[in-house]
Amino acid sequence: MRLTLGFSPCPNDTFMFDALVHQKVDTEGLDFEVILEDVETLNRMALERQLDITKLSFNAFLHASSDYILLQSGSALGKNCGPLLISKLDKSLLNSNSKVAIPGKYTTANSLFKLAFPAYKNTREFLFSEIENAVLNGDVEAGVIIHENRFTYEQKGLHKVMDLGKYWESYTKLPIPLGGIAISRKFSLEIQQKVQRLLKQSIEFAFKNPKSSEEYVCQYAQEMSYDVMQKHIQLYVNEYSVSLGDEGRKAINYLFERNNIHSKNIFVNL
């Protein structure tokens, strides 16, 4: 059986999926057609039901949960790993009319920004990797950065206005739910659980054999230093990626409850 599988070219995703897509683990008769796109493109593809299995922001999953169900492996959750609001300006010079770059309407980063700054409505969508330059060039006064840009903004003369992840943690006392892997509800529970099992095995293989995925990770991280690439993986791939556990599920359920969305049956059973 061949399934379409969408994930990002970011190091955390290529690290987790390497063993699965290159059959370093037994895929039990499943084959995968890989689609590599940035997370907001994947969000929109999920909303249009274009993929069988896909990475997506949890904010997008709120809107796609009638068509997709969440795997309990492969998620990006954690502490001290959330998006940052950055600027060239002093915080006191920013106000509710300031133009702010976001990495996509459906990203969890945008959801966290709206939670922390509800009065700021003047947002502009950019590809996540273009936000630093948009701030530097004066196209916007501030920007919400994600992924490896956490490690590069200071080198470019930008400074942190707020750690939006820490704001979430202080507000909820829960890990930050950034993104997860979901599978179409059109598939049987047997297939859903098989994919969940295989992805968990792929992540466990990557942890046990960290050098095995390096070629695949580096292939899509060519403009990233090796040190930043490793920091990226260490930040976003953790125990919640292997299995959400009670705390991970609680964080995602809270996100649904806060948005007044009925959250029953959003996880594939273990």
Provide the strand spans (E) within the chain.
2-7, 31-36, 53-57, 68-70, 76-78, 84-87, 100-102, 123-125, 142-145, 159-163, 176-184
* Helices marked H in 29-138: 39-47, 58-64, 108-116, 131-136
SS3 track for 92-116: HHCCCCCCEEECCCCCHHHHHHHHH
The residue annotated as part of the active site, out of 22, 63, 147, 262, is 147
Nearest residue to 120 (alpha-carbon basis) of 150, 151, 99, 93:
99
Nearest residue to 199 (alpha-carbon basis) of 175, 182, 216, 214:
182
Over the range 170-179, which residues count as b (16 or more CB within 10 Å of their CB) and which as e? eebebbbbbb
**CA distances (Å), 80 to each of 106, 117, 157, in order?**
21, 19, 22
Residue carrying the six token digits 């490896």? 148
Is 262 marked active-site? Answer: no
The residues that are catalytic are 147
